[in-house]
């Protein structure tokens, strides 16, 4: 009986020391809703966990599925209507970092997502290789930051900006004879 009381007391004491360390964010519907096509790939070492830095305590957000799959799905969805035969886009070395600032100088408090990726675009012959870097920001409430909603919003906005920029860099295809 004493062991059970001590176990319950230990669990209660530990449960008050920091709470949940991993914030889950499910973006699988967004990925499932994108068209399936092999002409666009996004690869990265980012995995599925993003650490939000800049606050008193670091928050970890687990994006499901992995971040590269989400970025690939959003870029593909944006570019699919513009696709033409023999267009191939391969993006690699995707890096995503999230920081938040909630001190007195930052009014309103803002979270920033920095995205960097190197893409190779082949359009019926001509090839373009480029590294893209974007920063997306969004305000948040320090009392209830809701990173499970904020991080996906920032990933989606960055992915849309990446798609627009990639499309602007697609070379004019060489006409087939």
Q: What is the CATH number of the domain that holds 134?
A: 3.30.160
The verdict on residue 48 lying in a domain is: yes
Domain of residue 143: give its range: 21-169
Q: Could you tell me if residue 162 is inside a domain? A: yes
More reliable by pLDDT, 35 or 135: 135
**CB–CB of 74/119 below 8 Å?**
no
Residue 8 forms part of a structural domain: no
Task: Establish if 26 belongs to a structural domain.
Answer: yes
Residue 6 CA neighbour count, 13 Å, CB half = 3
Prediction pTM value: 0.80
Q: What is the pLDDT of residues 5-48, one digit of tens each?
A: 333 333 333 333 344 468 887 777 767 767 777 899 999 988 88
Tally of domains in the chain:
1
- 64-98 pLDDT tens trace: 889 999 999 999 999 999 999 899 999 999 999 99
46 located within any domain = yes
């Amino acid at each position: 009986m004493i062991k059970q009381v001590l176990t319950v007391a230990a669990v209660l004491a530990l449960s008050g020391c920091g709470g949940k360390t991993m914030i889950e964010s499910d973006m699988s519907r967004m990925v499932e809703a994108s068209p399936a096509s092999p002409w666009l790939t996004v690869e990265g070492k980012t995995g599925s966990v993003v650490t939000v830095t800049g606050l008193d305590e670091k928050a970890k957000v687990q994006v499901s599925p992995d971040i590269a799959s989400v970025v690939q799905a959003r870029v593909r969805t944006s570019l699919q209507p513009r696709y033409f035969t023999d267009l191939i886009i391969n993006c690699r070395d995707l890096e995503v970092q999230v920081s938040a600032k909630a001190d007195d100088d930052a009014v309103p408090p803002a979270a920033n997502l920095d995205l960097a990726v190197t893409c190779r675009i082949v359009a019926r012959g001509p090839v373009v290789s480029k590294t893209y870097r974007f920063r997306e920001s969004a305000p948040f409430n320090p009392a209830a930051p809701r990173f499970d909603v904020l991080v996906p919003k920032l990933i989606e906005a960055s992915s849309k900006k990446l798609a627009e920029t990639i499309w602007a860099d697609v070379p004019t295809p060489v006409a087939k004879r």
